[in-house]
Structure 1
Amino acid sequence: MAQVRLTGLTDDEFLWEPVPGCWSLRRRVDAVTPRAFGPGEWVMDLGAADIPASEYGEVARQAASGMSVEKIAEDWSVSVGRVEEVLAHTGEPEPDATPVTTIAWRLGHLHFQFAGGWEWAFGERRRDPKLMVDFTPSASLALERFWADVDRWRESVAGVTDEQLDTVGFSQYPYGSDPDDAFADVLAGTNLEFIHHMAEIAVLRDLWRARAQ
């Protein structure tokens, strides 16, 4: 379904910024965010490190599992004070004011996660996921590379045993809770990430088409 939905994606649409202040892919010399990353000329926008409201529960879970505040802060690349603030929060957190992201950003986000997910579950478990994808402004090239890595992931997952599905730490992906989760939970999270980003991309395609008329 996603492959069909992305048929005909053009370079202009791929990089379209529907509102000011979007996160996208940019040449390294044009990067506007403090942690933009990628191994080549084109990098992916990323803001300052923080703990989003949607992850407050995960921080609480980490603390309940026995992780020290210092280790949690290291895991999220934030200060100890920020972790203490999150742990002390009561009630529902305010929704995050997250930037609008382009199709290029959303696809790039999925791509480095699939590439890194494979590396840290089935590969050598050594390469930084954020340096594994050479981002490109070419929609066709980005899609070709993306689907190849998705196919590799699916083929490897198809060979996983029931025992491996239940194994905590089968994936050692360094960003997030993979080392503390059963692989079945990692797969569920990967599927959710794929579904929600592809839904967002589909909406952006609809908006682009309406804009062009």
Structure 2
Amino acid sequence: MSGQEQRTDRLSVLIEQFDQAREMAEVRLHGLGDEEYLWEPAPGSWSIRRREEAVTPRAYGPGAWVIDKGAPEIPANEYAEVARQVASGMSVAKIAEDWSVSVERVEEVLAFTGEPEPDVVPITTIAWRLGHLHSCFAGQWEWTFGERRQDPHVLVDFTPSAALALERFWETIGRHRASLDTLTEEQLDTVGFSQYPYGSDPDDAYVGTLAAGNLEFIHHMAEIALLRDLWRARGGA
């Protein structure tokens, strides 16, 4: 920050990180076409699809196009976190509710010993990654700065048009970014400042939720960038 004193408070650091990630993402997403956006790199990929062509049990969306979503489960890489939550006092019933699984399934996870088998994670399209990010940011904004009443699953109208998807996505990201400027230190430390229902937001201080949102944005955008590289390498450009 030439000529200015750089702020190092928590909110400024998180906002600067997000701004830089967004700038890089905008560059990497420039010129995205519909065919590349919907390209399935391997059989069984998750994507967005016409409602009547959905192939996953919990695909969701309010319009003609839905985004793939599988059956609820606790992934192997979250077993240790589940154990930590129980040790910190969270009830098995609350964990089961958060993951949309049965109490018995949580108890199985807690009783598991040894090294769990790695999760079989579906390969996803650029459309899926972008749609997933859009859905998360739209839902978390609604349940943090909005009216806190709309189902996050109906907030994003998925589309096969890459240009329209990006236009809508950046509008949502812009609204999120503008709301960050209104935050106070007290709100950063408020547990449950975000009431987003799919995850641990209601149980976390908002500074942690905000940091997790940055991480989600960064890692999905990195995946999208790699998919673009693979598309170009195969002669799709």
TM range (shorter): over 0.9
Structure 1 window deviating more from structure 2 (93-102 vs 72-81): it is 72-81
Match of 2:211 among 188, 193, 207: 188
Structure 2 unaligned segments of length 5 or more: list them.
1-23
> How many Å separate the matches in 1 of 2:78 and 2:65?
29
Q: Deviations over 1:46-71 (max 9, x none)?
A: 11110011222332233223333223
> How many Å separate the matches in 2 of 1:72 and 1:52?
13
The 5 Å alignment of 1:11-160 reads 11-160=34-183
1:128 Cα deviation (Å)? 1.2
Q: How many equivalent residue pairs?
A: 213
> How many Å separate the matches in 1 of 2:183 and 2:86?
30
Match of 1:161 among 184, 208, 225: 184
- TM-score, normalised to structure 1's length? 0.96
- Give the conservation status (yes or no) of the 8 Å contact 2:98–2:200: no
Structure index of larger Rg: 2
> How many Å separate the matches in 2 of 1:102 and 1:13?
9
- TM-score, normalised to structure 2's length? 0.87
In structure 1, the residue corresponding to 2:49 is in which secondary structure?
strand
**Structure 1 segments (4+ residues) deviating >4 Å:** none
Structure 1 unaligned segments of length 5 or more: list them.
none
In structure 2, the residue corresponding to 1:49 is in which secondary structure?
coil
Match of 1:170 among 190, 193, 207: 193
> How many Å separate the matches in 1 of 2:92 and 2:201?
19
**Coordinate RMSD, CA, aligned:** 1.1
> How many Å separate the matches in 1 of 2:60 and 2:29?
25
1:175 Cα deviation (Å)? 0.6
> How many Å separate the matches in 1 of 2:147 and 2:79?
31
